[in-house]
Amino acid sequence: MGLVPAAAATFTLPTDGSTVVGQVLVVEPTGNNTLPDIARHYDIGYEEIARANPEQSVWTPHGAVVVPRQFILPPKPWQGVVLNIPQRRLYYFPETAKGQPPKQVITYPISIAREGWSTPLGATRIKAKFKDPAWFVPKSIRDEHLREDGVELPEYFPPGPDNPMGMLAMQTGFPGIFIHATNRPWGVGLRTSHGCLHLYPEDAAQIFPQMKVGTPVRVIDEPVLVGNDGSRWVMATFEPVDEYPDKVPLEQRVAQTLSTVPLPPDEIDQERVTQLATTPQPVPVALSASEPGLDDWLTELPVEPYNFEPYGIDANNALLPRLPASEDLELP
């Protein structure tokens, strides 16, 4: 039997000029679910759900839990794969007929490089794909683990459930950088890698057959995103990655991005802007003072019961789809 998360966030791209997809959800968990359980079910990373619920207990959440499943799309071009490192999120724009703009976007949370390491920025492509990959551990990584953790890693991990690369991997043109599954899915959304981008195993299984060798990949550093959801100008902010050379403070990045918003300065709620600049917030926040603030806006959303079983022992090999706790599904 396998218990599994909801389908990945797949959205039709807006055609009205708006640049926001999805919707924020509010759920009330039952049983022994944790924030990571809820996050994984809705294809959200740890950092996203923790930032959206700063007052909640990670391990024993109760009452209303905000699920930040609304996303401001990355800057164009919308083509192939876009990886926004501060947002810790991958966007995949499936290929359409030649000369036609993309019609959909699929987005997944990712783990990014740990402190002291980084993923190269810029453009590359998917160079190769591997099912059941083996991993030859670089000496620099073995030395780091021995120095910092006292753990002596083997030089080679064979294919299998103990391989940190998981069961599926896509090699980029950046040396040593892969987009791959992981045998430690609870790290998705955190800084856990040495430059690779980690996916939940079920997300890797979904994107792997769609991703062709040669698919363009663009890695960006955008800790501040602004967009229009069709009626509001909104902004979301994320923790900057200090390893990149352009170490502009978040406050300055917010000011730079705000200058692109076509709202009169006296219409912008400066208190909200200050909050976004000092405390990263993945939930898109309305910039206009005439729109409800985040807390008031969230209280207007319906609260849905969350009655899915915790992942438990199925955490590393989840499949699709996942059923509520009141139902059973026999999987081969």
Locate all alpha helices (DSSP H) within the chain, ordered by sequence.
Answer: 35-41, 46-52, 139-149, 201-207, 250-258, 270-278, 294-299
Q: Are 210 and 92 in contact (CB under 8 A)?
A: yes
Residue with tokens 């059923």, as numbered in its chain: 323
SS3 per-residue string spanning 254-306: HHHHHCCCCCCHHHECHHHHHHHHHCCCCCCEECECCCCCHHHHHHCCCEEEE
The helix/strand/coil state of 35 is helix
Q: What is the DSSP string of 132-151?
A: S--EE--HHHHHHHHHHH--
Handedness of CA 113, 253, 109, 103 (dihedral sign): negative
Per-residue tokens: 38: 């809820």
Whether the ω angle into residue 29 lies within 30 degrees of 0, i.e. cis, is no
Q: Judge whether 180 counts as a catalytic residue.
A: yes
Q: What are the beta bridge partners of residue 156?
A: 136
Residue 58 to residue 310: CA distance in whole angstroms: 13
Q: Assess whether 196 carries a catalytic annotation.
A: yes
CA Rg value for the chain: 20
How many Å apart are CA 183 and CA 186, to the nearest integer? 9
Continuous segment of H or E residues that includes residue 109: strand 104-109
Per the residue annotation, which of 41, 62, 145, 180 is the catalytic one?
Answer: 180
* Residue of 41, 194, 196, 198 marked catalytic: 196
Which residues are designated catalytic? 180, 196
